[in-house]
Chains A and B, each alone.
Chain A
Amino acid sequence: VSSVNVDLQTDATLQVDISDALSERDKVKFTVHTKSTLPNFKQNEFSVVRQHEEFIWLHDSFVENEEYAGYIIPPAPPRPDFDASREKLQKLGEGEGSMTKEEFTKMKQELEAEYLAIFKKTVAMHEVFLCRVAAHPVLRKDLNFHVFLEYNQDLSVRGKNKREKMEDFFKNVVKSADGVLVAGVKDVDDFFEHEKTFLLEYHNRVKDASAKSDRMIRSHKSAADDINRIASTLYTLGTQDSTDVCKFFLKVSELFEKTRKIEARVAADEDLKLADLLKYYLRESQAAKDLLYRRGRALVDYENANKALDRARAKNKDVLQAETSQQVCCQKFEKISESAKQELIDFKTRRVAAFRKNLVELAELELKHAKGNLQLLQSCLGVLKGDT
């Protein structure tokens, strides 16, 4: 189903998947299906309908929950984006008069296939998010998560309005500035210091690789589109009459048509196995960075609390208050550190496994397509030669 759904130990106590999805004009409705033996739920098996905004609400509730500061919050699925596809379909409808019936039907089929592919992808990404939450030992117990899974009415979660979006924007600005400050603080713990440098570099490189892979796949798709159009034109040339030249054109047109299908498949597979993988780990590495930031923040708070305590003791004023505050900071910091270590190790394991699985599948698919292409060309050559 998804390219990153590896290593998620789905056990019988809680299994979540998206069993169905419906695309309406400007929104997608996901049917979230749960199977569970946990006592928290009223039934063992049930389904609810959720929209994208409700997934975001769930994700944000994790991020804002102080208790989860020490965990890598599974990244939120990206918004379903059919705009580009819809625009293309519209343009096609407008240009219907200017092309032949065959061309039109062909292009329509292609655009519909593209629409379907985007649809499948967004379903997969939303599902991965839920599965990650369900597999996490702590997050799976979250009350909001259970409500999300079980409450069969609308969660009445409206999207953020303009003011809230502005607030978010400023919060992010403050956070990044703070992040820079926090990152500057050297960590006593070698493990975390190493992780910090590693993640920063890794995240940037994944970002770059993701962008470049997108560009490469786009070129590939454009080339496949061109081949498609060439095939149609050759077909038109071939059907003008039945001379030998025309028969030749028809055969070449067929060859191009088949080649295009293969090239389009190659681009689609690259997209799935490579681009999606990179995009996902871009988001996850960002989530890991966020975790480190939170820990760094807690460390700074702890150190500040220590200094405040020293000052209070020196002045012998509000000492008890300072002591409690310092203890709270200390506990928070240690709690985060402990879980963070495990989370980061898990992240590494997951990442290696996901990359391995996808790279292997990618290689196998590319080989298969290349062999198919070769066979196609050889048989066409044979047919053409046999003709003379």
Chain B
Amino acid sequence: MQLEEEVEDKFELNISITNPEKVGDGMNAYMAYKVSTQTTLPMFRSKTFTVRRRFSDFLGLYEKLSDKHTPNGYIVPPPPEKSIMGMTKVKVGKEDNSSAEFVERRRAALERYLQRVVFHPSLLQDPDVREFLERDDMPRAHNTQALSGAGFLKMINRATDSLSKMTIKMNESDVWFEEKLQEVEAEDQQLRKLHIMVDSLVGHRKELSVNTGGFAKSVAMLGSSEDNTALSRALSQLAEVEDKMEQLHQEQAASDSFCFAELLADYIRLLGSVRASFDQRMKTWQRWQDAQNMLQKKRETEAKLLWANKPDKLQQAKDDITEWEAKVTQYERDFDRVSATVRKEVLRFELIKYWEAFLPEAKAIA
């Protein structure tokens, strides 16, 4: 399959995100991450380089890429979710397990996000991406409010809803798109269900860990009041074993959460992007249709004018027609182009999914 070759291109580009560091204090504090790139691509200034970026920089990158490429039907990878709760804890300086966990989750999510962006051959060529990776001093991104996780999905859903309400009876000349969209929607539904279940599993494992700990303490107490020395010793050893089990369950919950749940959340957001690209295609089709309708109206106007014999307005009408004929042609071409892009994107997306899905699962198992 020719796409496979495209994917296994002979360039090397490795990105890693490390060393989260808290900068500043109080509510204005933020986490800065080290973004390290190692590459053989000639378009970059050097072979290895590092910059420091904060979360809003990533959101800013997404906004720029989305503005430029989504209208053309590209699937732009969505950024990780904003989390007010998580960040507040970090800002306030709560040094506990949950805030450390949060920072680690975010670091991993940012890494996955960047890796997806550079893996996309068209996006990699975008100068904004290069700037993001290379430039030492980046201007702060504003207006990233709308891009919080829930907000992002809401935005997509709203757009989809409004489109479907538009009673577009799109004459689907290419049944491939209709089938694919249905597949994507079915998969989205399943993944959401799965995500809820995995969250439930993580919750129960955490509960199991806590309860095992409680049990361990209780058995230790029981052992100390047992007057048969051998049994007493056995019970206290049981308590120790159960204590270790508590640790184990805790770790397992964490790894389930990291590898599985996070990945699922990523995919659900990615599918949102896929749907967005389908919507873009619909939009261009709609624009083309509207242009055709407009052209029709202009022609009718011309006919009316001819009949009413108003030669001065006639020239205007003829100009209008020429303008709209051009637009119609343009929009039709746009539609075809976007359709082709969407098609290529979706195929690429499916392939990547396999590779991405396999690797972390295998790591988790080991």
Residues of B near A201 (CB, < 8 A) are 225
Contact A388 B187 (CB under 8 A): no
Ranked 8 nearest A-B pairs via Cβ: A219-B208, A226-B201, A216-B211, A212-B215, A223-B204, A209-B218, A222-B204, A212-B218
Flag if A216 contacts B190 (CB, 8 Å): no
The answer on a CB contact under 8 Å between B193 and A248 is no
Q: Is the CB of A209 within 8 A of B221?
A: yes
Q: Is the CB of A219 within 8 A of B211?
A: yes
Q: CB-nearest residue of chain A relative to B356?
A: A245
Q: Does B366 make an interface contact (CB < 8 A)?
A: yes
B231 partner, pick from A198, A219, A237, A356, beta carbons under 8 A: A356
Q: Choose the segment among A21-29, A77-85, A378-386 that binds chain B (4+ C-beta atoms closer than 8 Å).
A: A378-386
Q: Mark A24-52, 1 if CB is under 8 A from B, else 0.
A: 00000000000000000000000000000
A233 engages B190 (CB within 8 Å):
yes
**Interface assignment of A234: CB less than 8 Å from any CB of chain B:** yes
The verdict on A236 contacting B207 (CB below 8 Å), with A216-B214, A356-B234, A385-B362 known, is no
- Report B230-245 residues with CB < 8 Å from chain A CB: 230-231, 234-235, 238
Contacts of A381 in B (CB 8 A): 362, 365-366
* Docked CA distance A381–B362 (Å): 7
Cβ–Cβ contact B190 & A236, under 8 A: yes
Residue of B nearest to A387 (CB): B358
Chain A binding surface, main DSSP class: helix
Contact assessment for A248 and B358 in the assembled complex, using a CB-CB cutoff below 8 Å: yes
Task: Give complex CA distance A201, B223 in Å.
Answer: 11
Do A359 and B234 touch across chains, with their CB atoms under 8 A apart? Answer: yes
Task: Assess whether A230 is in contact with B194, with CB atoms less than 8 Å apart.
Answer: yes
Would you call A215 and B357 a contact (CB within 8 A)? no
Chain B proximity of A286: nearest CB distance (Å): 15
Q: Which residues of B contact A216 (CB under 8 A)?
A: 208, 211-212, 214-215
> Chain A residue with minimal CB distance to B219?
A209
Specify the chain A residue showing the minimal Cβ separation from B353. A245
Q: Which residues of A contact B (CB under 8 A)?
A: 198, 201-202, 205-206, 208-209, 212-213, 215-216, 218-220, 222-223, 226-227, 229-230, 233-234, 236-237, 240-241, 243-245, 248, 252, 348, 352, 355-356, 359, 377, 380-381, 384-385, 388
The contact of B357 among A226, A230, A248, A355, by CB within 8 Å, is: A248
A234:B211 contact, CB within 8 angstroms: no
Contact for B187 among A229, A240, A348, CB less than 8 A: A240
- Tell me, yes or no, whether B11 is within 8 Å of chain A by CB: no
Let me know if B231 and A209 touch, CB within 8 A: no
Q: How many contacts A-B (CB < 8 Å)?
A: 107
**Contact call B225/A205, Cβ cutoff below 8 A:** yes
Interchain CA distance A272-B69 in the complex, whole Å: 61
CB-defined contacts of A236 to chain B, threshold 8 Å:
190
Assess whether B350 is in contact with A388, with CB atoms less than 8 Å apart: no
- Per the bound structure, the CA–CA distance linking A212 and B210 in Å amounts to 10
Contact A226 B354, beta carbon cutoff 8 Å: no
Q: A205-B218, A229-B197 are in contact. Are A198 and B358 (CB under 8 A)?
A: no
Q: Give which listed residue, A205, A220, A248, A380, contacts B208 with CB less than 8 A.
A: A220
Contact indicator B204/A240 (Cβ below 8 Å): no
A305 to B201, CA, bound (A): 65
Q: Confirm or deny: B172 has a beta carbon within 8 angstroms of a beta carbon on chain A.
A: no
> What are 10 A-B contacts defined by CB distance under 8 Å?
A209-B215, A212-B215, A213-B215, A215-B211, A219-B204, A223-B205, A226-B200, A226-B204, A245-B357, A352-B230
A237 to chain B: which residues have CB within 8 Å?
Answer: 187, 190-191, 194
Taken residue by residue from 334 to 366, chain B's Cβ proximity to chain A (1 for < 8 Å, 0 otherwise) reads as: 000000000000000010011001100110011
Q: What CA separation (Å) do A384 and B358 show in the bound complex?
A: 8
**Least Cβ distance of A359 to chain B in Å?**
6
Rounded to whole Å, the gap between the CB of B34 and the closest CB of chain A is 31
Contact bitstring B212-228, A, C-beta under 8 A = 1, else 0: 10110111011001111
